[in-house]
Structure 1
Amino acid sequence: MTVLILARDFDPTADAVVQALAERDIPVFRTDLQDFPRKLRMHAELCDGSWSGSLWNQHHEVDLAEVRAIWSRNPATYVFPETMTRAEQDLAFREAKLGLGGVLASLDVLWANHPNRCADAIYKPYQWTVAVACGLDVAATAITSDPASAERFARRRPGHTITKALGPTGTADGDMVKVSFTRRLTEHDVADLRGVAVTATTLQEFVPKAFEVRLTVIGDSWFPIAIHAANERAHTDWRSDPSALTYRFVPIPESVVAGVAEYMRHMCLAYAGFDFVVTLAGKWVMLEANTGPQFGWLQAETGAQMVAAMADMLGKGKP
């Protein structure tokens, strides 16, 4: 039985998991979606309600019936020749996504994580609703395109309102990549919120915190790691200054364990990365749950055996 890994060519964390699987004598077929259909080929046939067939490239081939688990590790997307018109490329992209993607999505194997479940979980407003239903705490939040409503929300908590992106924070501007970090609104910001009308804008109550926690759940293995920031900028958003961070393992309150376990069950996730704020009083407030979290850097910083946990989960396959 083979583990299928969908990952980019340069991915040190994927490399480490592949090595760990090899040490367990578990075959791996690793590819990237951008290789289809030029380097990666597929043939599948529907018979009695199930798909059979194979994937292959110039080096390897895997029978779909032999796949025990699929790890979708942030692969690049499908790419088509520039000799095709834009309309032709768009059509080919859709057919590849619905064809190859659809066949893989239909396989009754362990997914980490299934693309349909990721498509649901990408919506943070939905995440927060589910989190509260599962017993987790979430900060007061507003999503608005109305400047007056945004001002009223911010003035109810002066100096304690943040704005944050709902999706990926990096944007390309020519040769530069700009990153939008979470930040607290100043009085100057609140005095002129006309920009709120441009799109859906997310405002959230700033929760005074002792530290943050990245809780990575990989199957039955849980890795709760506290992230301590040494300056104000990193204290607001630790991604803004990695050099100012220190890490340590922390215990998880039982209520959070129960809430996260229920969230994972409700969302049908095999692994996820939860971000929490921990208040001075020790209350855990969930910020978000990532269905494709990076974890190599946390293993490097703490020694947490996340690569081994991922290899074990993929190697075991579907319960």
Structure 2
Amino acid sequence: MTVLIITFSQDNESIPLVMEAIEARGEKVFRFDTDRYPTEVKLDIYSGNSERVIITDGEQQLDLSEVSSVWYRRMRYGQKIPESMDKQYREASINECRATVRGMIASLKGFHFDKMSNVDRANNKQLQLQVAREVGLLTPRTLTSNNPEAVKQFASECQEQGIVTKMLSSFAIYDNQGRENVVFTNPVTNDDLEHLEGLRFCPMTFQENVPKALELRTTIVGQRVFTGAVDSQSLEGATYDWRKEGRALNKAWKPYDLPEDVEKKLLKLMAYFGLNYGAIDIIVTPDGKHVFLEVNPVGEFFWLEIFSPHFPISQAIAEIMLTIKE
């Protein structure tokens, strides 16, 4: 068996963790870094009388007919194409890289962990919330809008707990040194409500602020459910988004037993989207309610596994990619 992992060169520890787990089982794994294509990695796709796909990375070469399963993880198409290239040509080249790689993935036989079309569909946050409610999960009241008056009305309806704002996309701003500044979940103040003119350039998502006793990260691999809990309210900077103090909280995550009915509803949600993997964010309120926030079909898990023996997630991923056949 050979597993193909499609990612980018700066992806985190989750990739080597899974690769080691696959190799420990005596199987092969090949890593395709999309940011190094087409400048460093070669991809040859033959179709017609014979069909053949070859990836060449330095001295390593893979005939994709050998691939039994593929993990479609992180994409950074054509990132190393020189910035000095004419903007129009560079954008055209990146688009061609995207179309080539996605076409290659779509045509791959074998087991997909997960199918690209399922990942794309599951990334629609409004649909996630709709389906979560349909399977019986609690969700926050939510508004996505570019209309200041609608936002003000929504804020008045959530006056008791207030509202927070977040982005639907992976929104980040980069400084001159290329450092990433992620836009986290933030509270909306009365002053903010008087300065909503920017919504005419970019819609935003607003949610009622849900009180937190704990924050959960539930990672689902097939039918296996791993849940970690953290007291994000123990650090002032993590009040509205634990990721702001993610490093400081790394070792504070503890195993958590989800109520059986919540676990079953999460598995129904995963089945709706046809996902084998999902990283799910949940709030436990002071009165013990479990409020679903979102599922990320390619979400992170590495810090849970690195700092705790209770979350063998990479082992579960390796196992499912080496045992399930399509």
- Same fold by TM-score greater than 0.5: yes
Match of 2:164 in 1: 162
1:91–1:25 CA distance, 2 compared to 1 (3 A): same
Tell me how large the CA RMSD over aligned residues is. Answer: 2.3
Match of 1:57 in 2: 57
2:238 maps to which of 228, 234, 247: 234
1:151–1:131 CA distance, 2 compared to 1 (3 A): same
Amino acid at match of 1:37: P
Query: Residue 253 of structure 2: SS of its match in structure 1?
Result: strand
Q: What is the alpha-carbon distance in structure 2 between the residues aligned to residue 149 and residue 84 of structure 1?
A: 43
Match of 1:21 in 2: 22
Q: What is the alpha-carbon distance in structure 2 between the residues aligned to residue 83 and residue 278 of structure 1?
A: 49
1:57–1:195 CA distance, 2 compared to 1 (3 A): closer
Query: Residue 155 of structure 2: SS of its match in structure 1?
Result: helix
Match of 1:208 in 2: 211
Amino acid at match of 2:97: A
Q: What is the alpha-carbon distance in structure 2 between the residues aligned to residue 23 and residue 177 of structure 1?
A: 34
1:85–1:180 CA distance, 2 compared to 1 (3 A): closer
Match of 1:305 in 2: 312
Contact 1:110–1:318, Cα closer than 8 Å, also in 2: yes
Q: What is the alpha-carbon distance in structure 2 between the residues aligned to residue 236 and residue 87 of structure 1?
A: 40
Segments of 5+ residues of structure 2 without an aligned counterpart are none
Amino acid at match of 1:268: G
Per the TM alignment, residue 279 of structure 1 is displaced from its structure 2 partner at its CA by 1.4
1:252 maps to which of 255, 258, 280: 258
Match of 2:274 in 1: 268
Segments of 5+ residues of structure 1 without an aligned counterpart are none
Amino acid at match of 2:207: Q
Match of 1:173 in 2: 175
Per the TM alignment, residue 51 of structure 1 is displaced from its structure 2 partner at its CA by 4.7
Contact 2:9–2:35, Cα closer than 8 Å, also in 1: no
Q: What is the alpha-carbon distance in structure 2 between the residues aligned to residue 86 and residue 195 of structure 1?
A: 27
Query: Residue 143 of structure 1: SS of its match in structure 2?
Result: strand
1:231–1:95 CA distance, 2 compared to 1 (3 A): closer
Contact 2:230–2:249, Cα closer than 8 Å, also in 1: no
Amino acid at match of 2:323: K
Per the TM alignment, residue 216 of structure 1 is displaced from its structure 2 partner at its CA by 0.5
Match of 2:119 in 1: 118
Amino acid at match of 1:168: S
Structure 1 residue 190 corresponds to structure 2 residue 193:
yes
Contact 1:39–1:57, Cα closer than 8 Å, also in 2: yes
Amino acid at match of 1:289: V
Deviations 1:180-224 (A, max 9, x none): 221222233334433433321211111112111100012232111
1:147–1:297 CA distance, 2 compared to 1 (3 A): same
Q: What is the alpha-carbon distance in structure 1 between the residues aligned to residue 306 and residue 53 of structure 2?
A: 39
Structure (1/2) with the larger strand percentage:
1
Contact 1:71–1:112, Cα closer than 8 Å, also in 2: yes
Match of 2:31 in 1: 30
Amino acid at match of 1:306: I
Per the TM alignment, residue 274 of structure 1 is displaced from its structure 2 partner at its CA by 0.3
Query: Residue 236 of structure 1: SS of its match in structure 2?
Result: coil
Contact 2:9–2:36, Cα closer than 8 Å, also in 1: no
Q: Please, what TM-score do these two structures have when normalized by structure 2?
A: 0.88
Q: Percent identity?
A: 28
Q: What is the alpha-carbon distance in structure 2 between the residues aligned to residue 187 and residue 42 of structure 1?
A: 54
Once the two structures are overlaid, the 10-residue window that deviates more, 288-297 or 9-18, is 9-18
Once the two structures are overlaid, the 10-residue window that deviates more, 245-254 or 283-292, is 245-254
Query: Residue 275 of structure 1: SS of its match in structure 2?
Result: strand
Question: What is the number of residues matched between the two proteins?
Answer: 318
1:278 maps to which of 279, 284, 291: 284
